[in-house]
Structure 1
Amino acid sequence: MSSRTYGRGPVRRKPTADGKPRRKPVDWEGQEQAVVMRWLLGEKMRGTAVGQLYDATYHVPNGGYRLGKEAGRMKQQGVKAGVSDLVVMDARGGWFGLYLEFKATPPKDADLAESQRAWLALAKSRGYRPALARGFEEAKRVLREYASWPRTHVVGERERFVLENGSEWQRGDDDGDGSTGADRGEQ
C-alpha cells in the first residue's frame, strides 16, 4: 500500500476496487503556479513592466491536507478557507492590490469552491482586484494587464499613529523603506 506523509505520519490511501494501490495524486495546480512564478521572475530579470510585480507577489500556503492538531493550530494562527493563491501587493488601476485565484489549465482544473468565490467577493469589497486564472496563459494575461495599469496613489497628508504599546504605525505616502518621516527629518 502506498502512503503520503502529512504532518506526523503516513496517510494510507485505500486501494482501488480491484485491490490495486492508488496512484499518488498529482498537484497540477501547484506545478503550474510554480511555472507562473518562474515566468514572473524571468520577466523581472528582463526588466519588463510585468516583472516589476515579482517582488510584491507571494503565495498564501492555505491549501493541502493537515491532520488533527496541526489543522487546529493553523486555524488558530489565521488560516482561512478560500484565500486566493497569489497576492500582488502593488496598487494599480485604483485597486490596492490583486488577489489571484489560480486553477490548473483545463481539463486538469478544479471548480471554484464557494469559499474561494466568497473570498474574491470580499477582496473586491475591500478595494482589491479579484481575478480567476485557469492556467499559465490566462495568469500571464491577467498579470500583464494588471501591470499595464497606472499606479494607485494615496492622496493626502501622512498620518502617524502611536499605538498603546508604544509602537508606531504610519499611513499615507510611505516610500516603502520602512522608515518614518521623522527618520528623514520630517515632522
Structure 2
Amino acid sequence: MTEAQHQTCVFKWAAQPSIRSKWPCLKLLHHVPNGGKRDKIEAAHMKQQGVKRGIPDLDLPVARGKYHGLRIEMKDDTGRTSIEQDWWLGELREQGYFCEVCHGWESAVRVLEWYLGLGEFRL
C-alpha cells in the first residue's frame, strides 16, 4: 500500500459510526496537504501562501493528557522521514504536542486510540 492509501484507511476507520460515537472529537482530524507534485508556478504560489516542507500529514487539534494536540507523519512500510520532517516533529514536541511517525494505517490507529485514551488535558 502507498502512504496515501494508508492515510485513506485511517480516515475510513475514524469515520465508522462506532468509532465516531466513542470519540466524537475525531471529527477534527484532518490532513495537511503539503505534499504532492505541483508545477513551478503553483509551488511558488503555495510557498507564498505559507506552505512549508515537512509539516506532519495528520493533525488532531484536541488536547489530551499533558499534550496540546496530536501530529502524525504517515509513512508506508519502508518510508523514512526527511530532515524537514524531523525538524518539524522536534519543534512541535517542544511546543507540547505529541508527535509520532506511523508506518501504516494500523500504527496510526493505535497511536490515535492511545492518545484519545489519555483523558482530559492537564498541566
Mapped partners of 1:52, 1:86: distance in 2: 17
> What code does the residue aligned with 1:37 have?
F
Once the 2 structures are TM-superposed, how far is the Cα of residue 153 of structure 1 from its aligned partner?
A: 5.1
> Which is richer in strand?
1
In structure 1, the residue corresponding to 2:112 is in which secondary structure?
helix
Figure out how many residues of one structure are paired with residues of the other and give that number. 121
Which of 1 and 2 has higher RCO (CA within 8 Å, sep 6+)? 2
Larger radius of gyration: 1
TM-score by structure 2 length? 0.92
Instruction: List runs of 5+ in structure 2 lacking aligned partners.
Output: none
Once the 2 structures are TM-superposed, how far is the Cα of residue 53 of structure 1 from its aligned partner?
A: 3.5
Instruction: List runs of 5+ in structure 1 lacking aligned partners.
Output: 1-26, 155-187
RMSD across aligned C-alpha pairs, in angstroms? 1.4
Match of 1:59 in 2: 31
Instruction: Give 4+ residue runs of structure 1 displaced > 4 Å after superposition.
Output: none
Match of 1:144 in 2: 113
1:69-115 Cα offsets, whole Å, 9 max, x none, are 110000000100000000000000111100111112x2xx3211111
1:122 corresponds to which of 91, 104, 107: 91
2:52 corresponds to which of 74, 80, 101: 80
1:38 corresponds to which of 7, 12, 26: 12
What percentage of residue pairs aligned between the two structures are identical? 36
> Which is richer in helix?
2
2:72 corresponds to which of 97, 100, 107: 100
